[in-house]
Each structure stands twice: as structure tokens, then as C-alpha cells.
Amino acid sequence: MSRSIVRQSKFRHVYGQSLKAEQSYDDIRVSKVTWDSSFCAVNPKFLAVIVESSGGGAFLVLPLSKTGRVDKNYPLVVGHSGPILDIDWCPHDDNVIASGSEDCTAMVWQIPDHSLIRPVTDPIVVLEGHSKRVGIISWHPTTRNILLSAGSDNLIIIWNVGTGEPLISMEDHPDLIYSISWNRNGSLFCTTCKDRRLRVCDPRKREVVATNFEEPIALLELDTSNGVLLPYYDADANMVYLCGKGDSSVRYFEITEEPPYVHYLNTFSSKEPQRGMGFMPKRGVDVTKCEIARLFKLHDKKCEVITMTVPRKSDLFQDDLYPDTAGPEPAMEPDEWLDGRDEDPILMSLRDGYIPPKSRELKVAKKNVLDSRPSTRRSMSTLETNSLPPQLLERLLEELQNLKATVLSQEKRICDLENKLSQYTNGTD
């Protein structure tokens, strides 16, 4: 007699469930811009959604507890002069979010803890360096204040938002960049590009370290749909959730180190297609209900909450489901990362759940161009400019020329005044 062998896995029976209608977010005018981002970002405090807006770009920020119908006059985060294409919450501060726009800029915003009572119009910092629209925004996973932006100019810029300065720029992509993802400690990131190549990049060496991979270790055909797939990887559970834009289902898989490596678990299906999706960090799930993931599915005019749960009979904390996970504290400062240091995320336990801390002000200390000028006189053309985008370098050169012209003008005025004063003095003698 033959007997089939069933693979042992604690995630084999994970099931998805949509929360009740009163626990969703209704009357949200989700953006109709043609761009393949998720249009949604979520953390343990807030839900953010890119929305339709006249006269520029805007996104909506709601406390997670503010479910139900959203007032049509609810204040928005506005400031971009063009449609917003991507948003991303800072992993080290639940009140800080970054946005990228068709106006060629990225902006960083501070959101108050309470519901907004007036529009947020003043970003903490505006990051200018791209010559075309900024379609990708991604925070460094372990270093404070490090933000990556990528634009349709095929340029990648890594910023220190604490000073508003560009630290690194890379022009290694010959075509439009589709997506970017950091590895766990932020030493590398990978990109996908319109030229159908996947690249692994070392930003501090400013080089691509891998492009030509051998045959994939696993290949699984999902369907014949041409919709863009939004993948979300849970590093704690080694699971991948695949959400197709325009699709009405979420497929999820478990990844193992043994063949066949990718194991299909199940599919959550609903009636309406998804316009975008948000994925809650693990510290924001409900451990008392054995919830291992929470997704926020965007419809045309609402956001539906989907929970992924492992069925367990015990009400006790399930250690095997919740290993220590990445917490909100950064492991490094920008200078340490730039000097070549790598650190894994600082972990935290979920045994007692997670209570988000109160808002902390993000201060930006912009450096004066003159303060950074070397003590020895050097031509601007001889400075190290490999890390500066051409557009920013041109602007700095122009600013320097204007400052020089102003200084010369003031020196001439001083000479004229001294001459007049001397003539007056001699005349009175």
C-alpha cells in the first residue's frame, strides 16, 4: 500500500478573512494615475492612500481606528505640484512618511498622532535631484534617516533626510526602473528594469554586483493575466503574498531551503479587483488572534482589511508563530552606514503586543553650501562630484556663481563708500 506524505508546516492551514464592512474605510477616492505602485502604505498607527486631487498631488492619512465612511472634506497631505506616485512609511518613526511625485521631487512629512484637523501642506524636507518623475520611494531598513528615490530619469539617489543632502547617486540602469527592494540589513538592494534584467546593487560601491543569474531554482506559473504583481515577503514566517493589480485574489506561498523551495499554500479570493495593496509590518498584527499578516486592499472607493490567521485552539502566546521581529529602533546612524558598517534590524518581542510610541519630531539640519567649502581654494570643477546628480551639481554651481557675484558687488560698493568718505574727510581738513 502506498501512502501520500504530507509536508509538515505550521502555516499549511493559514486562511484569509475579510473584516466586516464597518471595519473597512469607505468613500476614498483612490488615485487613477497610471503607475504600477501599491498606492497604499500602512503601519501600526496609520493608513495612507494616494487619492485623486485637483491642482497637484495628495494622499490621505487616517488613524487605523478611524474606520467607516471618510468625510469628503477630510484634510489631506498636499504639497506636490503633480500627482503622487509612491508613498512609504519610515520603519523607525511611525509618524514620518515619504512621497514621490510627477513634479520630480520627493518629500518627507511629519504626521500628528491625532486625526488631521487641517491639511498638511509643509513637508519637513523637499528632496530635489531628479529631472523626471519620482516613481519609487524606499526607506533603508536599519539606518536612521536614509531614503532611496528612483525616477524616470533612470537615476537612483540615496538621501540623508536629516540634512536634506544626496549621499549617493547611481546611473547604472539603461531604461525605466520598475521596482527596488533592500535586503534585510540594507547592504544591498535589487532592482527590476524595463530591459528585463534584475540587478543586485551595492550602493556604497556605486556598482551593480550581479545581473546575469543562472536558471531559477524554482519557477511557478500563476496565470495568464498581464496585471502587475505586488509581492510582499514576510521574513519571520518565510512566506510570500502575491497580489495582482486588477486581480481579485491574493496567493500565498511558503519558502523553504529544500527543494522544491516554493510551496503553494492557498488563495484568498473576493469579488472586487484590487487597485493597490498595503502590507502591515509584523509588529502591527494582533498576536492574541494568531494573526500573522494583515493586508489593506484598495478598491475604487474603499479600503478593505484582510487578515491572515493560523488556526490555534490555545489562547496563549504562540512562540513558534512570532519569533522576535524588526522593531522601530534604527541600528545605525547615516555616517556609520556610509563608512561601510552593516547591522541587522534591532529585534523586539511581540509577547506583550506592540504599543506605538508617541510622535517624535524629525529635525532637519540643512548644511550651508559655504560651510562645506574646503579651506584650500579649489575650483568647483575639481571637487569630487561622482555622488551628485548632474542637475543638483548644475544648481550648486549656479548658486556658487551667484554668491561670488554678490560678494564682488558688495566689495565694489565698499570701495566706493570708502573713496567718498576719504574725499569728504580730505575736504574738511
User: CA-CA distances (angstroms) from residue 170 to 166, 191, 202, 390?
Assistant: 11, 12, 10, 11
Confidence band of 384 (pLDDT split at 50, 70, 90): very low
Task: Point out which residues pair with 62 in neighbouring strands.
Answer: 47
Between 384 and 137, residue with greater pLDDT: 137
76 CB burial (10 A radius; 0-12, 13-18, 19+): middle
Closest listed residue to residue 365, CA positions, set 164, 172, 123, 166: 164
Alpha-carbon torsion angle 292, 49, 119, 135, nearest 10? 120
* Residue whose C-alpha cell reads 473597512 in the numeric block: 24
**Grid cell at residue 278:** 498595503
What is the rounded average pLDDT for all residues in the chain? 88
Higher confidence at residue 297 or residue 406? 297
User: Per-residue pLDDT averaged across 100-108, rounded?
Assistant: 97
The DSSP secondary structure of 56-105, one letter per residue, reads S-EEEEEETT--EEPPTT---EE--SS-EEEEEE-TT-TTEEEEEETTSE
Residue 385, pLDDT score: 46
CA distances from 262 to 110, 320, 387 (A): 40, 21, 39
The pLDDT of residue 5 is 66
In Å, what is the CA distance from 381 to each residue of 220, 386, 397?
52, 12, 9
| Higher pLDDT pick, 91 / 246 | 91
Mean pLDDT of 333-347: 97
- The 10s digit of each residue's pLDDT in 191-239 is 999 999 999 999 999 999 998 777 888 888 877 677 789 999 999 999 9
The pTM assigned to this predicted structure is 0.83
Q: Pick from 140, 60, 124, 125: which is nearest to 92 by CA? A: 140
Q: What is the pLDDT of residue 371?
A: 44
Terminal CA-to-CA distance of the chain, rounded, Å? 126
Quote the pLDDT of residue 226: 76
Q: According to the model, what pLDDT value does residue 424 have? A: 65
**What does DSSP say about strands 68-69 and 25-26: parallel, antiparallel, or unpaired?**
parallel
The answer for residues whose C-beta is within 8 angstroms of residue 274's C-beta and 6 or more apart is 243, 244, 245, 246, 247, 248, 297, 298, 299
Backbone angles phi, psi at 246, to 5 degrees: 85, -10
Percent of the chain with pLDDT over 90: 70
Chain segment 386-404, per-residue pLDDT in tens: 445 566 666 666 667 767 6
